[in-house]
Each structure stands twice: as C-alpha cells, then as structure tokens.
C-alpha cells in the first residue's frame, strides 16, 4: 500500500537534487537553450557525485531495477517505516528527476552517466556486463526512419559472425547519441520472425563502422544533443548482446521492453518537474497582480484565474500519484507496464497543458524571454512524444484493460 510520506532514506537525496536544480541548472538554463549543441561543462562536476550516489543505492536519473516481492535491495537497505515494503532505486530516480527537471529538463537529459541506455543495462544486463560497463554513459538507440512508435518494425540488423556481431542500420532521435560513451542499439536477428528476434546490443563510441551522421536542431531541450547514428558493418564482441541470443517466440521481446517499465515513470517525473516549475512561477507572477489562491473557498466561488490554477494543480497532483504508484510497484517487484504507461500518458499530456496555459495566464511575461515560462512550454512537448507517444501509451493501456494482444488491437 502506498504511503504518502517521503521515506527518510530518500529525503536527503531529493532535497539535494532540488538544490542542484536551483543553484546549478536554473542559472545556466537560458545559456544552453541558446547555445544548442554546446556541451554544458558545468555538469562535469556531477559525474563523480552521481556515481557515489548510485553506489549508495540512490540512483538519480536512469531508472532502477525491479525486484521480486521479498527480494532484498542490492544495497541491503530496507525502509524503517515498513520492512516488507521497499522504496528503492525506481522511487529514488522519480523523486530526484522531478527535482532536477524543475531546474532544467535539457540539462537533466545530458547529465553524464545518466542516459536511458543505463536503464537498459540496469534492467537486462548480466552482472558481468554491469561490472564491465560500470561508470559508462549509455544512450539508447531505438527509433528509425521507418520505425517510430512501432518498435517491432525495427530494420537495423545484427548478424552473428564468429565471436562478433555485425550491425547495419540507421537510428534517429538518439538522446545524447554524440556525448555518451556507449549506445544501446535495438536490432533484429531475423526480420521474418518479428518481435521475438529483436535484441539490444552495446556499441562503444569509436567502434569502426559506427558514426554520428548529424545532430538535430530542436524546439526544446536544446541543452541535450539529439543525434542520427549510422551503423555500417559495425563489428562488436559477441558478449555485448543484452540478454539471450535465442529467439523465443513465446516471450517476444519482453526482455528489452522491460526497460520501458522502469523509464516511463522517470519520463513522467520529468513532466512533473516542468509542470511544477511553470505553475510555481505563474502563481508568483499572478500574485504580484493580486491574484492569490485562497484554498478556504470552493473553486466556484473563486475568480476565473484562481479556478484555473486550482484545476491545473489538481491535474498535476493526479499525474504525480500515478507516477509514484508506477515507481513503487517496480521497486516491489509488481508488474507495472500498464501503470507506467498511465503515468507517462497522463503526466506528459499534463505538462504540455500546464506549461502552455501558464504562458497564456501570464500574458506578455509568459511569452517573452524575460522569464523561463516560454522555454518550459517548448521543453514540455517532448515529454508527450519520446519514450512512446501519447497515442501509443493509450494503446498499451487499452490492450491491458481489454486483455488484447498487439495483433488483436492495433
């Protein structure tokens, strides 16, 4: 059962994340929004600190590992409040990401060592692979020119050749594809065998046959690089496959998809941070004009502006509760695919609505670059797109509720 009090062991780390967002991210937010593709050197100081936090079991950004009920946390820690219920790396990631996204979403996405590929390593890598790639920054390469929301339509191929895999294909919209040390690449072993043949592989930067073709110019999250990657007879060691080499049609590609069960609540947490930042600033600017929330009155007794603030706050709170539930389920070994999609769908849509509405409510101050509201409105839209679009999340939820397969409900 959910406990709405933040666990003691997570409180200090979440507070530190909020302080980092305020003291480090906010002051340079506009600088790197304007200097697209420039690496934020100020973030280098975070790498060693975050590595120490991860070693202590308090992950920051990439999602954690789901555990079976009764299984001990990797750090051996248990909550003082309820030994049978755990709040681990997934909950820590959600709380920390929300706080850092409140500071700046683009900067969060380019923190060294916290790529989405790291979540894949956490979810499906072997202990030997985790040890070998420990401390590396891993990006995730899934989307292709002909395979966007439908991950099963991937055309990038992986072919066994002795003790190596040979990759061929193109990946687009890869977050931190140029800056990361490793790329986790989704590829198919056999196009004719569908989803079951899709596996993930680790490719190190500098590997012959792998190159960054271009960097995208974007509406928002400009501090984060978004790359197109090309693989031309790219040869990697056989042991760089994540999970089994066997194609098992009964299991499909559930192993690689498990990554999303951990990362979608994290993306939802990003949306919470942006939403909260926009709402807080909007309330502050409106209060200067005499519009202040009075929670002793009902919504229908308030002014139109006050009533709109109440509505947006309610949407944010609903999103937050869904996100916490999805993270909590992952930490306690409960299947959370549906809840992860619910959290991501609700929070992503809410972030876009809140950010745009706050721009409108604040008028010229919301639209100008004198404040960060217009930037947050630009940043927010990606949260409704990457890690699976709004439409894909609703499709996943519908399949789960109706007990339909992907073949039965498209």
DSSP 5: S
Directed axis angle between helix 337-361 and helix 390-402, to 10°?
A: 140
d(CA 338, CA 344): 10
DSSP 388: S
**CATH fold for the domain made of 254-402:** Butyryl-CoA Dehydrogenase, subunit A; domain 3 (1.20.140)
* The model's pTM: 0.89
- Torsions phi, psi for 337 (to 5 deg): -60, -45
> Hey, how many other C-beta atoms are within 10 angstroms of the C-beta on 164?
14
User: What radius of gyration, in Å, describes the C-alpha atoms of the chain?
Assistant: 21
Q: Minimal CA–CA distance to 15: which of 96, 87, 105?
A: 96
DSSP state string for 72-111 = PPTT----SS-TTS---HHHHHHHHHHHHHHH-HHHHHT-
Q: Minimal CA–CA distance to 252: which of 162, 151, 324, 344?
A: 151
Pinpoint the residues of the chain covered by CATH 2.40.110.10.
138-242
Query: Residue 219 pLDDT more than 60?
Result: yes
d(CA 381, CA 138): 24
Which pLDDT score, from 0 to 100, does residue 70 have?
39
More confident residue, 274 or 388: 274
Residues marked as catalytic? 387
Helix, strand, coil in percent for the chain, rounding step 5: 50, 15, 35
Which element (helix H / strand E) includes 304? helix 304-331
229 sits in the region (left: phi over 0; alpha: psi -120 to 50; else beta) called beta
Q: What is the pLDDT of residues 75-87, one digit of tens each?
A: 333 344 444 667 7
b/e per residue 21-33 (b: at least 16 CB within 10 A): beebbbebbeebb
Determine the CATH number of domain 8-132. Answer: 1.10.540.10
d(CA 228, CA 217): 12
- Give the homologous superfamily in CATH for domain 138-242: Butyryl-CoA Dehydrogenase, subunit A, domain 2 (2.40.110.10)
Pinpoint the residues of the chain covered by CATH 1.10.540.10.
8-132
Section 388-401 average pLDDT: 93
Q: What is the pLDDT of residues 35-84, one digit of tens each?
A: 999 999 999 888 766 665 555 444 454 444 444 443 433 333 334 444 46
For residue 337 the two structure tokens come to: 């695919």
Query: Residue 150 pLDDT more than 90?
Result: no
Biggest alpha carbon–alpha carbon distance for the chain: 74
């Amino acid at each position: 059962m959910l406990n709405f009090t933040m666990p003691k062991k997570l409180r200090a780390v979440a507070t530190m994340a909020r302080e980092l967002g305020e003291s480090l991210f906010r002051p340079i937010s506009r600088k790197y929004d304007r200097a697209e593709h420039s690496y934020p050197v100020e973030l280098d100081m975070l790498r060693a600190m975050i590595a120490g936090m991860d070693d202590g079991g308090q992950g920051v950004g990439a999602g954690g590992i789901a555990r079976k009920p009764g299984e001990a946390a990797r750090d051996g820690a248990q909550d003082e409040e309820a030994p049978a219920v755990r709040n681990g790396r997934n909950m820590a990631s959600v709380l920390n990401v929300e706080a850092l996204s409140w500071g700046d979403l683009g900067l969060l996405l380019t923190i060294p060592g916290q790529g989405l590929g790291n979540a894949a390593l956490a979810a499906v890598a072997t202990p030997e692979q985790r040890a070998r790639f420990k401390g590396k920054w891993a990006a995730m390469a899934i989307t292709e020119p002909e395979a966007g929301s439908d991950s099963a339509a991937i055309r990038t191929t992986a072919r066994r050749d002795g003790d190596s895999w040979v990759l061929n294909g193109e990946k687009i919209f890869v977050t931190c594809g140029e800056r990361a040390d490793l790329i986790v690449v989704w590829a198919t072993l056999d196009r004719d065998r569908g989803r079951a043949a899709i596996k993930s592989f680790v490719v190190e930067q500098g590997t012959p046959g792998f190159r960054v073709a271009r960097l995208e110019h974007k509406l928002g999250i400009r501090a984060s690089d978004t790359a197109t990657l090309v693989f031309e007879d790219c040869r990697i060691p056989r042991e760089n496959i994540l999970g089994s080499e066997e194609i098992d049609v009964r299991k499909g590609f559930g192993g690689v998809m498990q990554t999303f069960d951990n990362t979608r609540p994290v993306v939802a947490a990003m949306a919470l941070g942006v939403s909260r930042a926009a709402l807080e600033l909007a309330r502050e600017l409106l209060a200067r004009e005499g519009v202040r929330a009075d929670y002793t009155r009902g919504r229908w007794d308030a002014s139109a502006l006050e009533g709109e603030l109440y509505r947006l706050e309610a949407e944010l709170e609903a999103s937050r509760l869904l996100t916490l539930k999805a993270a909590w389920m992952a930490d306690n070994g409960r299947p959370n695919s549906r809840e992860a999609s619910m959290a991501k769908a609700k929070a992503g849509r809410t972030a876009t609505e809140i950010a745009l509405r706050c721009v409108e409510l604040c008028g010229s101050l919301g639209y100008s670059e004198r404040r960060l509201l217009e930037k947050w409105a630009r940043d927010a839209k990606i949260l409704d797109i990457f890690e699976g679009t709004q439409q894909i999340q609703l499709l996943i939820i519908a399949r789960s509720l109706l007990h339909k397969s992907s073949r039965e409900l498209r």
